[in-house]
Amino acid sequence: QVQLVESGGGLVQPGGSLRLSCAASGSIFSIYTINWYHQAPGKQRELVAGITGGGRTNYADSVKGRFTISRDNAKNTVYLQMNSLKPEDTAVYYCNAATVAASYWGQGTQVTVSS
């Protein structure tokens, strides 16, 4: 079992930055691939970025060059640094911990990009 708690969301103006955190507890954190998804109202949940236990990363095309995912296994935490935010980045952002056998989700944190 893994428990995930997201934090760092909020209201930011276009062009601004936010850093989301996903704190994990309950299992061996380093074996999990950690993903960030977002879900805008009326839309499906979409993968934003992911990082493996070994540090390999992947990003959605829409955020490449603007978002950076990183992890600190000693702190059981994954971060999503979001720069140059756009109104279309507005969504609830969810943290997901996954292996081939299991998948766990946090409760989500709201990110609103608006002037």
pLDDT tens per residue across span 55-109: 999 999 999 999 999 999 899 999 999 999 999 999 999 999 998 888 999 999 9
Alpha carbon separation from 25 to 4, 11, 70, 74, 98 (Å, rounded): 7, 27, 17, 12, 14
pLDDT at 110 over 90: yes
**What percentage of residues in the chain have a pLDDT greater than 70?**
100
Question: What's the pLDDT score for residue 27?
Answer: 72
Mean pLDDT of the chain, nearest integer: 95
pLDDT at 26 over 80: no
Report which residue type is found at 30.
Answer: S
Question: What's the pLDDT score for residue 47?
Answer: 98
74: how many CB neighbours lie within 10 A of its CB?
A: 8
**What percentage of residues in the chain have a pLDDT greater than 90?**
84
Give the C-alpha separation, 113 to 33, whole Å: 27
Band of the pLDDT at 111, cuts 50, 70, 90?
A: very high
